[in-house]
Chain A
Amino acid sequence: MFFVGIFGFVTRKNMIAILISLELVLNAVEINFAVFNRYLHPQHLDGMFFTLFGIAITAAETAVALAIIINAYRTVGNIDIKNLSKMKE
């Protein structure tokens, strides 16, 4: 799942699709934490806590990213990442 997400991040052209790929990456990590906790270190709950915090932070991240993408959409007119290359020489 992590590498599917990375692949998506690199290849997608649509900003929303890139954001979805990012979600895949982050969720893969959170599952990783939960699984490690359950099978390798069941005596403490560190991993579960991390997962909970991670979910909350990921949600905040998505909200901010969407807001910024909407802002970009208003100034540029679409959400294709190709159109955001004004600063390349």
Chain B
Amino acid sequence: MDFNNFLIMGQEIGLIAVFLILFTFDLIASGKARHWLYPLACLLFAAQTAFGFFPLPVGEAFGGLFVSSGLTVLMKNILNIATFIVFLQTYSWLHSKRIEHRRGEFFTITLVTLLGMYIMVSAGNFMMLYIGMETASLPLACLAAFNKYKEKSAEAGVKYILISAFSSGVLLFGLSFIYGSFGSLYFSDITFTGTDTLAILGFVFFFSGLGFKLSLVPFHLWVADVYEGAPTNVTAYLSVVSKGAAAFALMFALFKAFGTIEVVWESILWWLSLITITLGNLFALRQTDIKRFFAFSSISQAGYILLGIIAGNAQGMTATVYYVLIYVFSNLAVFGVISAVENASDGKTSIAAFNGLYKTNPILSCIMMLAVFSLGGIPPFAGFFSKFFIFMAAASEGQYLLVFIALLNTVISLYYYLLIVKAMFIKERESGAVERFSIDNYSKAGMIICTLGILIIGILSCIYQNIVGLSFGI
């Protein structure tokens, strides 16, 4: 047997090793040693993240089932960084009274979902894509219901598992049609001619299945409820890591398997990204709960990600990956602040809880301000550059109308992002608002990483150049 195949799966094997170590440690550690679980998890995962930056062998393994290239390694690194920041932010939540004894479960479940996302990104075959997707989404439902004693959390879990099972049913239905018309599940064997109606029908079902995962607009109804009900740190994970992985997988599937019918999916994507950006923004305007608010904001961000995929060339691919990278830092900074405020104020997540935050916690509110400016796309923060590249990629394919509408939407989004800034800086404190509080060192480290990411990545052009070198067109 050729063991070189396994070397290509280096990152996956590393992740499984981390998972096994944590799992055994959680099982056998005595009461006192369990205090080390959290630092150990962070340390091991940091090692795993660093491991991804070393040059790894790339190629195809297992007859094309598993594909690893410079770009997939980079995508996995982005997912790793995001997960690492989420881990850092969970400190106070995982050390609260009712969760403490189940700390280990959180890490093991999260690592399994991450493994699923690795497989999704690296899939060279629809079966691998499906298996990865299920490995990612089934444990995520458990994470959404992690606060067992809370009714909202249970509700979020039920909604997430039912919707994700339903969407994978739809996706599978589409896959079965695609299989029926080509007789193979490998991306490389699928050659659309554009006249094969069964296959096109299959593609539409497949796309709507993925649309659920990516929370595009006609399939977005679960997002707000799940994001609000799930524990805040899990929401952060869902909105960043899970969505990023789905975007990468969609991009690979569209480029590799459906590259020949670009005309078909381009027009579908055109409408979807249009309504996703617009409706996401309009619904965000009238939210009063901050987690719901950022759920809708993340829906519209998914629309922008689609904009990069629409371009369908190497430039679009680069822009998409870059956009997700920036989105990771900005959104995780936001959720870091939200979870810090939530923990300090006994579970308050309304926007009103942020009134006058600047008076009591100036540093936190400055980080929040940086993050929402980056999400809104104000220069010189990183979000401006990522939006710029996305628009440039779409415009290079002649999608001027779409870019114009997206630009208008950026203005709308600035309005509601500024509402939060206004609440923090201008509005007077209410009687029940949060007092001055200090956050734990782990969350501090996470926020510092995010802030640095927001400030620096936009300016360091070598990162963008690096992604350009890895991307390829259709």
| Residues of chain A whose beta carbon lies under 8 Å from any beta carbon of chain B | 2, 5, 9, 15, 18-19, 22, 25-26, 28-29, 32-33, 36-37, 40-41, 43-44, 46-47, 49-50, 53-54, 57, 60-61, 64-65, 67-69, 71-72, 74-76, 84-88
Contacts and interface: CB of A to CB of B under 8 A. Distances in A.
A75 B176 contact: no
B151 A25 contact: no
Nearest to A69: B158
Given A57-B134, A86-B151, A49 B169 contact: no
Contacts of B165: 22, 26, 61, 65
Nearest to A46: B185
Interface string B226-249: 001100000000000000000000
B180 interface: yes
B138 interface: yes
B157 interface: yes
Given A29-B175, A75-B151, 10 more contacts: A15-B162, A25-B169, A29-B169, A32-B173, A43-B183, A46-B127, A46-B184, A64-B141, A75-B150, A84-B155
Contacts of B157: 68, 71-72
A29 B159 CA distance: 22
Given A22-B169, A50-B127, A71-B148, A36 B176 contact: yes
A87 B169 CA distance: 26
Given A72-B155, A72-B157, A87-B155, A65 B162 contact: yes
Contact of B176 (A29, A60, A71, A86): A29
21 contacts: A9-B162, A15-B162, A22-B162, A22-B165, A29-B169, A33-B176, A41-B179, A41-B184, A43-B183, A47-B179, A53-B127, A53-B130, A61-B161, A65-B161, A68-B141, A68-B142, A72-B155, A75-B149, A76-B154, A84-B158, A85-B155
Nearest to A72: B154
A65 B139 CA distance: 10
A75 B154 contact: yes
Nearest to B137: A61
Contacts of A69: 158
Nearest to B171: A29
B225 interface: yes
A19 B224 CA distance: 22
A79 B6 CA distance: 45
Contacts of A5: 169
Interface centre among B172, B177, B179 (most CB of A within 10 A): B172
B138 A86 contact: no
B152 interface: yes
A2 B173 contact: yes
Nearest to B127: A50
Interface centre among B169, B172, B225 (most CB of A within 10 A): B169
B185 to A, nearest CB: 5
Nearest to A31: B176
B285 interface: no
Contact of A41 (B130, B158, B183): B183
Nearest 3 pairs of A and B residues by beta carbon? A41-B183, A25-B169, A32-B176
A41 B225 CA distance: 43
Nearest to B173: A29
Contacts of A64: 138-139, 141-142, 161
Nearest to A2: B173
A74 to B, nearest CB: 8
B286 to A, nearest CB: 9
A26 B169 contact: yes
Contact of A46 (B148, B183, B228): B183
A36 B178 CA distance: 10
Contacts of A75: 148-151, 154
A53 B131 contact: yes
B145 interface: yes
Contact of A61 (B138, B175, B179, B180): B138
Given A29-B172, A64-B141, A84 B159 contact: yes
Interface string B295-307: 0000000000000
A65 B471 CA distance: 39
B101 to A, nearest CB: 16
A54 B155 CA distance: 27
A83 to B, nearest CB: 9
A49 B154 contact: no
Contacts of A72: 145, 154-155, 157-158
B166 interface: yes
A64 B158 CA distance: 10
A68 B161 contact: yes
B316 to A, nearest CB: 31
Contacts of B177: 32
